[in-house]
Structure 1
Amino acid sequence: MDKNTMDSCTKIIKDAKNMVVLTGAGISTESGIKDFRSRTGIYKLAPEYILSLDYFYKYPKEFYQFAIENLYHPEAVPNKGHQILAKWEREGKVSSIITQNIDGLHQKAGSHNVIEFHGTIRTATCQNCGKTYSTSEMMTRLDTMEDFYVCSHCKTKRKEDQFIKPDVVLFGDTGEWFSTEGFNYILNLLRKADCLLVLGTSLKVTPFSTFPQYKSAGVPVIIINKGDTPYDFAPNTFVIKESIGTTLARMDENIN
């Protein structure tokens, strides 16, 4: 790890009072959760269309079986990276975390200001009445009911309208943060940030990948990611291709 880069990044974080953090699968892989796009990722197990809205409505049982097996990790625990971000939030350095991850590990670690841009795998919601089910409830329903994915609390003419969909943003889907209001809220956070910390994301999936473009001029960007990103050579950008947990732990030691 380049010492000059490390020293510069540590000083930036030490001085930060309104740092916005963007996180992707790379921070969760250090907790044993598979990513999507690497050589051993989920998309090597199955085509992307399985995680689409069309597939969910055509094959809800198969969709749930795949999602519970590959996306739901209730046993996973936060790693050092998650824990340090929560610590920095308590210390007034981190103002917000905007994550692509659906695992809830930031919240488990104690972070409060978390925007789950791609939703969460921890719950599912009836598309008609809005009743929310926990994913553990859905697992029980899958084992005990034929049409487990059909809401038990409302009636409509079309059974598909009562489908209970996991609260993740699927291909062909839109989440709460994809609205004009949600997007503007995020852009406002980015414009106010005094530092942008990017962890474990290739920044290649839109619209999440556009977020660094909305920071104010001159605000530094720190990218800790083992792969390349489109922003690696942008002005005032510092790139570290090391473990997120190890790197943040070293920074935190040097700050205190």
Structure 2
Amino acid sequence: MENNQFDLCVTLIKNAKNMVVLTGAGVSTESGIKDFRSRTGVYQLAPEYILSLDYFYQNPKEFYQFALDNLYHPDAMPNAGHDILSKWEREGKVSHIITQNIDGLHQKAGSKSVIEFHGTMKTASCLHCNKSYSTEEMINRFQTMNEFYICDHCETLQKRERFIKPDVVLFGDTGKWFTVEGFNKILHTIEEADCLLVLGTSLKVTPFSTFPQYRRKSTPLLIINIGDTPYDTDRNTFVIPESIGKSLTLLDEQLRS
């Protein structure tokens, strides 16, 4: 990015009072968490189907083994990108973070207003009675029980109805935010933004990829991502094709100068 455009991004962020941030896997790769679609991503280990609702029902043990090995990162720590977003929230600059990530690192960094659009790997729930299980509890069940994925808190004729599913949105699945009320809240949040910052996502997975379309025409779109997005050439859009931590650190330093 040319210096004058970088300076413009600094000015836009400095003037923002209600910045909404959309984040994807690229924010967490600097914390040692794999993304999904790159050459070293999760989908190089198995096809996308393994993270589908159908596969979960058909092969719950194998699903859990893969999910616990590749999606659950309790020891991962926030990186500079997470920390700066948290600081900007405390300073009244960032109003909401809407994330595709399921690792909880935004909250671990101290961000409060986080919408986990694709859910979280911290918990799992019975599909019948909604009893919540911590992932640590599910790991213990996995290690000590044969049918660890079947809820023992409720009863139904079909065991499949009592499957305990991680609270993440799978292919063919819906989640807390995949409702009329959930979508309306997100779209209203984006419509109210005075700056939309997109970090570490290619914006190619629907419906998350549609969210920038709902910003006001006057609202600038800032994209920091290694790789193209469908919005890169849009009007009032500014692109920094660099790492998240490096870019946000430079931007934050310029805000202070």
TM bracket, shorter-chain basis: over 0.9
Q: Give per-residue Cα distances to partners, 1:125-164, cap 9 Å, x unaligned.
A: 0011111001111001000001000112111110011110
Aligned residue for 2:117? 117
Aligned residue for 1:18? 18
CA distance in 2, matches of 1:97, 1:68: 25
Aligned residues: 256
Aligned residue for 1:169? 169
Amino acid in structure 2 at the alignment position of 1:234: D
What's the CA shift for 1:253?
A: 1.2
What's the CA shift for 1:123?
A: 0.4
CA distance in 2, matches of 1:107, 1:28: 13
Amino acid in structure 1 at the alignment position of 2:78: P
Q: Give per-residue Cα distances to partners, 1:172-208, cap 9 Å, x unaligned.
A: 0001111011000000001000000000000000000
Q: Give per-residue Cα distances to partners, 1:82-128, cap 9 Å, x unaligned.
A: 00000000000000000000000000000000000000011000011
CA distance in 2, matches of 1:127, 1:253: 47
CA distance in 2, matches of 1:5, 1:69: 41
Aligned residue for 1:142? 142
Q: Write out aligned runs for 1:50-65 (5 A).
A: 50-65=50-65
Amino acid in structure 2 at the alignment position of 1:70: N
Amino acid in structure 1 at the alignment position of 2:29: T
Aligned residue for 2:45? 45
Aligned residue for 1:224? 224
TM-score, normalised on structure 2? 0.99
CA distance in 1, matches of 2:174, 2:153: 24
2:214 paired with 1:214? yes
Aligned residue for 1:252? 252
CA distance in 2, matches of 1:5, 1:71: 36
Aligned residue for 2:69? 69
Amino acid in structure 2 at the alignment position of 1:17: K
SS of equivalent residue, structure 1 residue 239: strand
SS of equivalent residue, structure 1 residue 177: coil
SS of equivalent residue, structure 1 residue 146: coil
Give the fraction of aligned pairs with identical amino acids, expressed as a percent: 71
CA distance in 1, matches of 2:134, 2:7: 44
**Which ranges of 4 or more aligned residues in structure 1 deviate by more than 3 Å?**
none
Aligned residue for 2:105? 105
SS of equivalent residue, structure 2 residue 198: strand
SS of equivalent residue, structure 1 residue 178: coil
Aligned residue for 2:203? 203
CA distance in 2, matches of 1:197, 1:191: 13
Q: Which runs of 5+ in 1 are unaligned?
A: none
The CA RMSD measured in Å over matched residues stands at 0.6
Amino acid in structure 1 at the alignment position of 2:180: T
CA distance in 1, matches of 2:98, 2:155: 36
Aligned residue for 2:78? 78
CA distance in 2, matches of 1:49, 1:249: 37
TM-score, normalised on structure 1? 0.99
Aligned residue for 2:187? 187
Q: Which runs of 5+ in 2 are unaligned?
A: none
Amino acid in structure 2 at the alignment position of 1:41: G
Amino acid in structure 1 at the alignment position of 2:137: E
What's the CA shift for 1:2?
A: 2.5
2:128 paired with 1:128? yes
